Amino acid sequence: MSRLAVLKTYKLYIGGKFPRSESGRVYEVLSASGDFLANAAKASRKDARDAVVAARSALSGWSKATGYNRGQVLYRIAELLEGRRAQFIDEIVSAEGVSAAAAAAQVDEAIDRWIWYAGWADKYVQVAGNANAVSGPFFNLSVPEPTGVVAVIAPQDSSLVGLVSAVAPALVAGNTVVVVASERLPLSAISLSEVLVTSDVPGGVVNILTGSPAEIAPWLASHADVNALDLVGAGSLDWVSLQIAAAETLMRVFAPENGADAAAPSLARVTQFTETKTVWHTKSLL
Amino acid sequence: MSFLEYAPAPESTALLNLQSEYGLFIDGEFTAGSDPTFATISPATEKHIATIASASAGDVDAAVKAARAAYDTTWSRLSGRDRGKYLFRIARLVQERARELAVAESLDNGKPIKESRDVDIPLVAAWFFYYAGWADKLDHAGLGANPRALGVAAQVIPWNFPLLMLAWKIAPALAAGNTVVLKPAETTPLTALLFAEIVQQAGLPAGVVNIITGAGETGRALVNHPDVNKVAFTGSTSVGREIARSLAGTSKKLTLELGGKGANIVFDDAPIDQAVEGIVRGIFFNQGHVCCAGSRLLVQENIHDEVVERLKVRLGTLRVGDPLDKNTDVGAINSAEQLQRIRQLSDIGEAEGGERWSPACELPSEGFWFAPTIFTNVATSSRIARDEIFGPVLSILSFRTPAEAIAKANNTPYGLSAGIWSDKGSKILAVADKLRAGVIWANTFNQFDPASPFGGYKESGYGREGGKQGLAAYLAPASSASASVASASVASASVTSASVPASSSRSVRASKGGKK
């Protein structure tokens, strides 16, 4: 007699905890062949706002951590992902209907991208910042600093690699993130939150919402406590309206990306979530 | 005659050679505008200076077409080295005509001649000189090899530093290989039109720089023109919002330099005399018409009374009056409309419980004037502690601990500038780290330099001007999707040619050398 499997309840990930949607709503997640996989939480406006509050309260600690420290925390995530490699592969095979080899390639790429971005945490300042030779007796330095709370609409056509490619670069500089996962492929996102909660990432640094991006995104775009909006995976939404809503608070907005190169790893994805601060200090005239 | 009274020492306007009427500068020529003309006046006397053309939507289209044609046929094909040479020429022409430009600026804007002469115009020349050198070094701008220009840049600038804001916009745009259509502010078009003459003297190819004058409607038509690739705007946050909204869904790259409510923080270990000078420079420089002005003074409580007392003594020595007088410290408010806003907000400040003080000073009977004003006992919730006044009005608040100073300084939707005054370096660096502002001045204020990036956090806008960051705002990486693949390949070819000697015979030798 075969053993009856224990199924997982997939919930949201907000402030380091796993709440159900306050709305009580769920939606069915189906496999590529149309079989029932799970009921995922369908996040509401209130859930999105709770996630922004959690991201804002985590910002001070995460942005003040040293680059070396953030780099190690991010690297630790990759270590834990590697340990759960088989679980993610199984999940992707059933959700996307791809071969085990293709699923493995996606997981490996996701892990390698975490590591690539982890390595930037103590270097991007040197590359993107500079000393400025001004015409006067001043010490003048420009450094990139985190923009703040970043809302992300994750790429919708992959379970893990798209999500990682959108979230990891925003974390490098010390931003905190509210991400809306792929609507059709949300299960790996919630499994990723199980990785995050057991890693050293403080609660609230990453908040993961599942549900309808079309429903949640407008609340994030118009939220006055969101500093940047990455629409990388919003290509099929009415993203122009989201940009218009975001203009109200002059939130930094990044347009949808499509195709195989969407959210490809680049230093620009790190620096787009930074602000250049220039400090002038007088030098005495000796 | 007390020691503070001087005989008048006005700068002569005789060296100005102004036209009575100015057209639009499109495709290298001045042409009449299609909409009714308007007058530009001296805010110090309300006297007429010149009649100015107003660009209709059709004129805007002609200017963008000229800029596009110049981009396609000449500017994008020119080597970086030659683009740089044109910019060096412009820098030199600005230096040669510096006195004339300073007088014209003070006449049209109302700012003291000592500022236009010693700050605005020298910085204009410096800006062109700095970016001239970048034109053939774009590979080092931080976007990888062979970055490409964006195309046609639409630029709309404010009235507070008319020619300097023009330089901030045009110099990096041209260095990066773009062509421009620029609209100066309605109340201060004069020096932009003199700059058009400089463009002619420099022999810049027609259409590379186009200057169109007009009101808000002209600016709106310009930034919304479908054939524009880049929009750069400096001005109010409300107009910045409108532009961000109207550009939604387009591929236009956007830089916004908007309002501010800068905190100038004075700790009890600050050198007080220097801090008082810095406070004055922070808020009374250019009549407070400065987006990065230190308009909120945060003074540590135990030195509050002493600082206010010394500040009042210092304000008593400020000379308010004729902008063309070399002894003038504070000039005229730029327009009747702006004066009205400053008066209104100051009245609100009083009504909300702020204690208002101004030094005794006689203001001219004609023109737009507002005495330097300070408010003490200002609540953080008061309008004058929250809203950008854009005038010579300082709101003074106090604090007890560095943490309280930082919290108060950051308690604003803006994030453009801040000042820190202390003799303790470690305190300055720690506070600077925690301030959410793009430019921080420690033991100084309102310093500008073309090598130093300038721009805001939060609702003060996005993008930077100055430095290599300011150059990158007008470039895209070589690999990025291009609207015009042809022009991108032409641009990269010209960068390559810039790295080898210019004459054809020498470049043949260079290529032979490469084969060995």
Q: What is the pLDDT of residues B323-341, one digit of tens each?
A: 999 999 999 999 999 999 9
Structural tokens at position B273:
């005399």
pLDDT reported for residue B510:
36
**Residues in contact with B137: Cβ distance below 8 Å, sequence separation at least 6, in sequence order:** B80
Q: In Å, how far are A67, A73, A144, B425 from A119, measured between CA atoms?
A: 9, 11, 16, 31
**Residues in contact with B311: Cβ distance below 8 Å, sequence separation at least 6, in sequence order:** B276, B279, B280, B374
Report d(CA B427, CA B443) in Å as an integer. Answer: 12
Nearest Cα of chain A lies from the Cα of B34 at a distance, in angstroms, of 32
Structural tokens at position A211:
């549900």
Report d(CA B295, CA B281) in Å as an integer. Answer: 11
Give which of A60, A63, A54 is closest to A223, Cα–Cα: A54
Does any domain span residue A10?
no
pLDDT reported for residue B130:
98
Q: What is the pLDDT of residues B75-86, one digit of tens each?
A: 999 999 999 999
Report d(CA B486, CA B477) in Å as an integer. Answer: 15
Run of H or E residues at B183 = strand B179-183
DSSP string, A32-90: TTS-EEEEEE---HHHHHHHHHHHHHHHHHHHHS-HHHHHHHHHHHHHHHHHTHHHHHH
Does any domain span residue A240?
yes
- Asked if residue B512 has pLDDT above 50, the reply is no
Query: What is chain B's mean pLDDT, rounded?
Result: 93
- Asked if residue B500 has pLDDT above 70, the reply is no
Q: Is B291 a catalytic residue?
A: yes
Q: In Å, how far are A207, A280, B135, B163 from A45, measured between CA atoms?
A: 14, 42, 49, 47
Structural tokens at position B325:
């007088």
Q: In Å, how far are A151, A233, A251, A261, B250 from A254, measured between CA atoms?
A: 11, 10, 10, 15, 12
DSSP B18: -
CB burial of A216-251 (b: ≥16 within 10 Å; e: otherwise) equals bbbbbbbbeebbbbbbbbbbebebeebbbbbbebbb
Residue A238 CA, chain-centre distance (Å), reads 21
DSSP reduced 3-state for B32:
coil
- Asked if residue B502 has pLDDT above 70, the reply is no
Does any domain span residue A94?
yes
Structural tokens at position B431:
């506070």
Inter-chain touch B439–A280, beta carbons under 8 Å: yes
Inter-chain touch B451–A252, beta carbons under 8 Å: no
pLDDT tens string, chain A, 286 residues long: the values are 689 999 999 999 999 999 999 999 999 999 999 999 999 999 999 999 999 999 999 999 999 999 999 999 999 999 999 999 999 999 999 999 999 999 999 999 999 999 999 999 999 999 999 999 999 999 999 999 999 999 999 999 999 999 999 999 999 999 999 999 999 999 999 999 999 999 999 999 999 999 999 999 999 999 999 999 999 999 999 999 999 999 999 999 999 999 878 899 999 999 999 999 999 999 988 8
- Asked if residue B19 has pLDDT above 60, the reply is yes
Nearest Cα of chain B lies from the Cα of A285 at a distance, in angstroms, of 14
Does any domain span residue A222?
yes
DSSP reduced 3-state for B242:
helix
Does any domain span residue A18?
no
A140: closest chain B residue by CA:
B452
A139: closest chain B residue by CA:
B442
Does any domain span residue A60?
yes
Q: Give the mutation candidate from A141, A145, A229, A279 for the B interface (greatest B CB count, under 10 A).
A: A279
pLDDT reported for residue B4:
64
- Determine whether B273 is exposed, middle or buried from the number of CB atoms within 10 Å of its CB (0-12, 13-18, 19+): exposed
Select which of B115, B291, B292, B459 is catalytic.
B291
Q: Which residue has the tokens 């939404």?
A: A237
Residue A86 contacts B where some CB pair is shorter than 8 Å: no
Report d(CA B149, CA B74) in Å as an integer. Answer: 13
Place B488 in a pLDDT band, splitting at 50, 70 and 90.
very low
Run of H or E residues at A193 = helix A187-198
Does any domain span residue A57?
yes
pLDDT reported for residue A231:
98
Q: Which domain holds residue A66?
A: 26-282
Question: What total number of domains does chain A contain?
Answer: 1
pLDDT reported for residue B5:
75
Does any domain span residue A77?
yes
Nearest Cα of chain B lies from the Cα of A233 at a distance, in angstroms, of 15
Report d(CA B377, CA B405) in Å as an integer. Answer: 16
Q: What is the pLDDT of residues B223-246, one digit of tens each?
A: 999 999 999 999 999 999 999 999
- Alpha-carbon Rg for chain B, nearest whole angstrom, is 24
Report d(CA B360, CA B372) in Å as an integer. Answer: 10
Say if residues B166 and B193 touch (Cβ distance below 8 Å): no
pLDDT reported for residue B12:
93
- Asked if residue B493 has pLDDT above 70, the reply is no
Residues of B with CB under 8 A from a CB of A: 126, 142, 237, 240-241, 244-245, 248-249, 251, 256, 258, 413, 415, 425, 428, 432, 437-444, 447, 449, 451-455, 457-459, 461-462, 464, 467-469, 477
pLDDT reported for residue B479:
77
Report d(CA B442, CA A101) in Å as an integer. Answer: 57
Give which of B417, B332, B411 is closest to B372, Cα–Cα: B332
Domains of chain B, earliest start first: 52-258+465-476 (3.40.605.10), 263-454 (3.40.309.10)
Give which of A107, A91, A96, A65 is closest to A201, Cα–Cα: A65
Q: What percent of chain B has pLDDT over 70?
A: 92
pLDDT reported for residue A1:
67
- Asked if residue B508 has pLDDT above 50, the reply is no
DSSP string, B134-182: HTT-GGGSSS-SS-EE-SEEEEE--SSSHHHHHHHHHHHHHHHT-EEEE
- Asked if residue B516 has pLDDT above 90, the reply is no
Structural tokens at position B458:
């939060």
Mean pLDDT of B12-22: 95
Mean pLDDT of B33-49: 97
What sign for the dihedral angle of Cα B127, B130, B136, B141? negative
Nearest Cα of chain B lies from the Cα of A279 at a distance, in angstroms, of 5
CATH number at residue A123: 3.40.605.10
Mean pLDDT of B384-394: 98
Place B394 in a pLDDT band, splitting at 50, 70 and 90.
very high
φ and ψ at A136, to 5 degrees?
Answer: 175, 170
Structural tokens at position B170:
């045009």
DSSP B492: H
pLDDT reported for residue B497:
36
Which among A227, A244, A282 has the least Cβ separation from residue B443? A282
Strands B48-54 and B35-41, by their bridges, are antiparallel
Which among A127, A241, A249 has the least Cβ separation from residue B459? A249
Place B273 in a pLDDT band, splitting at 50, 70 and 90.
very high
* A130 contacts on B by Cβ (under 8 Å): 467-468
Q: What percent of chain B has pLDDT over 90?
A: 91
Give which of B389, B401, B429 is closest to B298, Cα–Cα: B401
Give which of B217, B204, B230, B224 is closest to B27, Cα–Cα: B204
Q: Which residues pair with A136 in a beta bridge?
A: none
